[in-house]
Every structure is written in C-alpha cells, then in structure tokens.
Structure 1
Amino acid sequence: MSFDLNQFFKEATLRVCGSLEAEEFLEDAFNYLVKFVPVEFMVLSYYDPTEGKQTLLAEASIKGGRLLKQSLVQPGRIKSYSSRPGLDFQVIEKAKNHPTAQPWITAGRLEPEASLLVMRLFARPDMIGTVIMVAQKGETFNQKQQNLVRMLQKPFAIALANCARYQELMELKELLRQDYRALQQDYIHSGGRRIIGVRFGLKGVMDMVRQVAPLNSPVLLLGESGTGKELIAAAIHQLSTRREGPFVEVNCGAIPQSLVDSELFGHEKGAFTGALAKKRGRFERAHKGTIFLDEIGELKPDLQVRLLRVLQEKEIEPVGAAEPVKVDIRVIAATHRNLEQMVKEGEFRQDLFFRLKVFPIEIPPLRDRKNDIPSLVEHFILAKHRELGHAVRPEPEPGSLDLLMGHDWPGNVRELENTVERALILSRGNQVSFRGLGLLMAGGGVRLPVYVSQDPPDQSLPPLEQVIKGHIQKALYQCRGQVGGPQGAARALMMNPSTLRKKMRKLGIVFGREAAGLYQKRPGNSSHQNKPADDPLY
C-alpha cells in the first residue's frame, strides 16, 4: 500500500493550524506525527532578534500539551548564529555539539546526547520561530522522516504567527479589562465632584493651577487632609495638554507593602506565585497622561529611590521584566505632612523632595476660607439628597449658616461634606438642621444660631416676622437687590430662590423691578423708606 503524501500533508496541516492555543495545536500535531516520526517530545519556540531572547512557548509529548512561556537569554556568541541564513532545517546528532542547544541543556530542557530536528519558522519580520523535535532515546531522524517534517514548515509558521497574534490580543484584552476596572473605580470616587470656591477662597490656588497646568513640570500639593488636593490635581490635568490622556490616582498610604511594587510598576506573567497574567502598573497606565501620587510622604525609602528613577529616567521596571519600560507621564504629588521636616529627620530623600517641589501649591484649610461654606453646603445638599433618595430637596433651617460658619472644621471640606450628609439623614420634612451634631465654635463652646437683642432686657422683643423681614432685607442690601444667581440673596441665605421670593411676597418685601435702585443704598440712610424702624439687626 503506497504512502499518500497529500493525505499526510492535509491531515497534519489540519492539526497544526486547528487551534490558536499553542499547547493545543502542538499536542494535536504531536499525536499525529508520532505515527510517522520517532519523536519523544517537541517544543515550539520563537526568537526576538532585538532582545536576543528565545522564548519557549509550548511543548507536547505523550503526556499532552503544555504552555511554557519561559525565556532563555542567548549568549552573545549565539545571537548571530540564531538568525544566520541557510539554517532553516537541521538535524543534530548530539545536542551537546550544537551551540544553540547549550542554554537548553543548562536549563535542564535537553539531554546532552539527544538527537534533534530543528526547523526554523519565519512567522513575521520581528519573529523567528522554531519547531524542535527531540528523538526517542537511541533513535535518530532518517531522510524520509526529515522530508515529511519539512513539508510542514509553512503550516507551522502560519500557526505560530496566528498564535502569537492571538496571545497579543488576549494580553491586550486583559490590560483593557484592568484599565476599565480602574476607570470604574476612579469614576465612582470622583463622580459629581467639582471645585467650589474658585472665585473666593481658592482664587489664588486656581491662578497658580492655570499658570502651571500647560507645562510638564512636577507639582507638589500641600495642605491638610480633607482640603480637596485630589480635585486640584484633577483640575491641573484637565487644563493641561495631557487632558486627552489618562489621569491615574494613587494613594501611597493605602497600598499594602507587599503589593506596592506590583501595583505601581506592574508585573509579567509568572513573575511570582499568583501572577497568572501580565499586569500594567499605575505608572504604565498613566502613559501619555498624569499620575497623582497622594500621601507621597507615606512612601518607604526603597520606593522613594524607584520613584526618583522614574522622574529622572522616565522609565519603570515591572516585576519579572527583562527590560525597563519607557513612560511619558506628568507627576503630581500631594501630602499633608511636613516634607522638609521629614528630610531633616532622614525619613524622606532630599533629592526626591527637590525633584517634586518644582512648583508647590499650598491649599488653604476651610477655616481660612469660610466664605465658601454657603456654596459648599448648597452643593453637598444638592448632591447628597439625590444619593439618599429624598423626593424634595430640603432647605437649611434659618440660622444654620451662623452655626456652620462658627465651627473650626479641623477635618476641612471632607468634614463639612460628612456633616451635611449626616444632617440630611436625620432631617424630617423640607428643612435640614445642623443642631445637635456637635459643632463647636472657634473658642471651643457650642455655638447656637440665635439672635440676641442689643436693647435693654426690659424692652419687649420685636415680632418674629419683623426679625425675619429685616434679615432678608439686610441680605438684599448686601447683594444689591439681586435674588438669584451666585451673588444673590438666596445664595447668601442658603435658600432656594423661588422659596425666598414666596417668603418676600408674604412679608411684603419689595424686590425685582418694583425695587429698581432701592437696594443700592446702604442701610442706615434716613431716606431708605423700606427700613423697619428700631430693627435690632441693623
């Protein structure tokens, strides 16, 4: 019975090109070829001429197929041999006599006396592949067997190219999945946040932000916890030329010490136990964008050294990687600690401190910008009442502003936000009260928002409606008759503009067109016809 070469080529090719998974198609090919060729096991590898590194991709034997992904660095004298023309198909009687087999023997992959069949695969310009067949003990490959294997050189090259492209796509898919998960977390943490106080308490800060944003210089944000340093960092990114790139936030104090290397710099697949896939670190994810290192003062000394190298060399070394990775990033760091004192005490590297402190920005605490409190409260009420599922947006009760303005806010904006949320949870009806929440005035005593008459105690108190009317009129004077808008009386009184208008109509307070020019004069002028007589608030 004659041997059908066409049938052999068809059946072998179907198996070689039957899967995109290297271990699967190599196992199928082995199980078919072992009927015709005395092969004990076979290995698929590829060589990267630029790195001089050979990667063992997969192997197959009677035990089955197995994915390897092991790298063997070729010695310098072997690199040129591996890419030398004219060596597309070789039979090596003893492995120990062949230069390219030496790294395999050293790594325990080959017996020195084994007979080999080596077939080079030109998968694509940047990849030279190889199928290595190791003969069964005491056997070698005769000419007929060599001819059969040579017929499969092109199918193996196609299979390797497809497999390599498939693996690259799978790795890219995994990286995109990691980025998507990280972006989801960033969106959750940053959703709905905006900077309040741009025209008042943070005006100086925002002027500096606009000045430095277009540049690539590092920025160091200084300020107490809860002042909104992450928002300022995001603003710098949004106003920069990198705004289309990623903005990656890292809390240096929140990453477990055992995971810091992997989280910041990434790792290769198999770099350590549990590294089942390649992972890009935060620095690599921030490529072409901005990385924000919050709580930079919490970095350990060894990581300070690595960060300094990133700033100087613009490259990182993922865990398990053979070569560094270039990154194009802008670094914004932040801390609530005194870095200068830490440098003096040897807790923070002086050279890193100078690298980071190219353009420092000091963010004032909330107690130094209390004029922003009404706007912040309005913003938090608007955001939080939706989160809490309130059907109607509640208004602060009268006098709330005095109570909030009198508190020192050691926790800054974050404390104010939590206070507003707590008050909304406890509120009933359409008003939110801040009483009973433990707010202290600057002197340490509890401040109650009450109006105290300056008249003698035996004089009768004015009617409540007159006090409310006078208070609203005072706000109208301060806002020059404007009711709505950022500079309006409603904002100053922490009220909804429509609610304030209803109140003024009920109290008979003139406003709008009817009061044209009326509130341009300051209270105390005798010609002011709408000022109530003997009002204790003026």
Structure 2
Amino acid sequence: MATDQFFRELTLRICSTLDIQKAIERVFPVLRARVPLDELRLEVLDRKLGAVRQIARVSTAGQGRAGERITQVKPAIIPLPARLWRWADAMRGPILMDEASGEDMRMMRVLTKAEHDSDLAVPLRVESTQLGFLLLRAAGKGRYTAAHAELLATVADPCAVALANALAHQELVQVRDELLDDKRFLNRELFHATADEVIGGSTGLRSVMELVRQAAPLNSTVLLLGETGVGKDVIANVLHDASPRREGPFIKVNCGAIPEGLVDSEMFGHEAGAFTGARAAHRGRFERADGGTIFLDEIGDLPKGAQVRLLRVLQSREIERVGGTRPLKVDIRVIAATHQNLQQMVTEGRFREDLFFRLNVLPINIPPLRLRAEDIPALVRHFVAVKRRGLGIRGTPTISPGALARLQAYAWPGNVRELENVVERELVRSAGRGRELSFEELARSQARSAPSRHEAPPPRTLADVMAAHIEDVLAATGGKIHGPGGAAELLGVNESTLRNRMNRLGITYGRAARKRREAG
C-alpha cells in the first residue's frame, strides 16, 4: 500500500465515527498491514486527574495473521509524576521508546510496563495543545525503525483532529446526560410528588391529600383555598402530576401580578396588529396550556372584565385572541387558588357569582401552618437541607434544644413561606456560631410583642395578630415593602398581596406611613 493510499485509508477510518474505541478498532488492521503491531492504545493527558488516561485500547489475541482476531482491552488510568508533564508536553514527533535515553524516558517505560516490548509513541497535538498520544506496541525488542516513525508522523494530524472531536463529543454527551439527570431529578422534585412525599401528607395535610387523590384522575375544576404561603402551588403541582394530563404542560398564572391592561393579551393571546406594538401573534397562557393544566393563582385578584371572559372559557372551552375573528378550542384542566373569601367578595359585588359557581366544583381547603404544628419539624429539616446546599454550607447544622418548640409556638401568619425564609436567615446567622440553629431572634420577637404576666388583655383577633406582625416587619425594614430585604420578601408573600392585606388591615405605607412616623 502506497503512502498516499495509507494516509487516505487511515484518515477515513479514524474519522468515520465519534466513538473513539470503534475508530481505533477500524484503524488497527490498516496500521498492522504496514508496521509491526500487537497492541494499539490511545492515551489522553488528563490534567484534571494528573494522569495518562487510556480511552481506547485494542490488541490481537495472539494468533497469526491468517486467524487474526482483535480484542478490546479494558482501558486504564496511569498516574503521571509532575516532572513527566514537561516531557509529555514537549513531545513533537514520534519517539522510539525502547531507543530513548534519560531518566524521564526510563520512568515512562516503567509506567507503561513494557520492558520487553517495543513501543512507538506518536504525539497528538492540535495547535499548541498536546492532547495525548497514539501508542503502538509490538512484542520483542527493536521492532520499530526510523522509517516506521516517519510513516506514523504523516497521520498524526488526522489522528489528533479525530481525538479532539471525540473528546468534545464525549464532553457534550456528559453534559447532556447531566442535564437529563437534572431534569429527571427536578421532575421528581416538582412534578412527581405523591401524598407520601408532600411534607405533612401523612400528618397535618392527610385530609387534603385524600381529596387530592380523589380529584386528580378527574377533569373537573379544582378550587384551592387557604392563606398565602400554605402551599397551594405545591398541591396544584401534585394534582397535575397525578392526573392523566401529567405529560402535558403545567402553566401557572399569577392573576394579581398581571397589569390590568395586559390581562387579556397574557391570558388569551393576541393577533399581529391587534394593538400598537403587537408586531407578531402571541399565544396566551390558555393556549399554551392546551393538553395540560392551567393554574390560576390568586384568582380573586382578577379584574371584573377578565372574569367575564374567563367564565366564557370555562363554559365553552374556547378562547379568542385579542384582535382575532375566530374561536380556538382548548383542551385544559383548570385549577384555581385564592387566599380570599370569594363568597364574601360575591356578596360585596367584587367577584362574579356565576364564575364562583363554575370554579367551586371541587374545593380543597389547605389549613394554615399554625393549625398543623406537627409538620414544622419535618419542614424545618427539609428547608435546612435545601437551603444549606443553596448557600454552599458544608456539613449539616444542628438544631439546638428548644428551638423546635419555639417554632411550633409561633403563629406563622406567613405560613410555610415565612418558615422557609426564617430557616434561611437562621442558616446565614449561624455561620459564626458553630452552625447551631437556635431561632433565638424569633423568640426575642415574640417576647417584644408578648404582654406582661400582670396584665390581662382581651384575646386578640387573628387580624390583630397579623397586623401587629406585619407592622413589626415593616419597622425592621424601615418601611420598605418590595425588593431585597423588603417586608414582602421577609414574610414570603407577593408584594401586591401584602399591599392588599395591609389595606384590609388598615396599615398605612408609603408617604402616609412616613408622615405618621414623623408626627410620632
């Protein structure tokens, strides 16, 4: 075989696949037809491991050429002493290992365990980076000549390119596999929750989870009721995942967070040119939820005009984009949630009665955290584990004696979301005191608001307790409601929800609050 034909044949075979083991197996007979060869190895300089890593390796089974059989040998990792990295990086052309001299070369011979064989090493370099080398081995001493080294030098470049492509492919496959693992993990965490996996599913939320099990297989509308922060979104996810629609989309809509002027466009979509700035058609949330579930959170905050259009969707399962001329069928399951008393809102004329009846098919009331204190220890352990990883805290912090009792005695107006934020703050504060979580700040806050033993104040209503707690948090934030460190973040509630609650409780904020503080 002429040199040109040899180069062409070897290049075609080494570049024929991104599976480097298969590529080496295909190259083996081409090389063996031109040079002595009993074993062929592809070695990578792995700087992270500080070693030579064999990523592909084939050899003969010891038979003659007539009955030649190629077998794959399990790759290995050979630690490389620090001083040999300079030697490896300096390799430029093929080296006849058994003719080389010098202490480094002798050490390399020991590492390769080939004292009685002949080795020919072909460095594989792309630009200025030494990737590794192709190692040919033949039984016996003196099997390779300068002519063999010169022949192998002609195919070093295509072999190096093939190795670089294979390594890049392996890295992409690894990233893809990691992303798939992450996706599977997140799916299990977010959407594959069962009654046993929901914290409190067998204790404080047992009755709720029983209703979830009954409602999940159905296509009926579910209305989740409960205070802000009790976990209505978690229950909505469980309902979706346990339903026949689990493979479809789960689209969440925070009805209180959409500006009133954009509700129709966000919910139902719009056609191109429907209004100024509508340069392209836009699929609304209902259209995107087709085949799955739409979760309408804070449904009580939906404007009256949008309530009318939502009622039509629930009745006909059809939507019409803003600026559109034809209805679009949607196959959806509706889950709605609110912390408000919709029946009272109907009486006050703030919520449509016919829409309430449409939503209130399967109501599920989620109890507040103060009524299921038995769930607090498990919730604390869960949040400690999750937040510890997020904050990069090594080791598992301990919970001091009496800490759980303090948490269970607290009213938790912000419910589970507030507990989550309290745990995170305590983890940050515990960094300087041996990782012990005592929640003493919560105890001091309770002590400041607790009456003297000698007084006999009348029992306070829940509204009074909530108002006092919100005012304490506002005092701690200097009146700041939104943004990092604001009252909404500390309480674990949406900013608009907190403002609505403050309005109902008669708590002033903004300029009025500043004037009151200045007057006081």
- Which has more helix, going by share of residues? 2
Larger Rg: 1
What TM-score results when the alignment is normalised by the length of structure 2?
Answer: 0.48
What TM-score results when the alignment is normalised by the length of structure 1?
Answer: 0.46
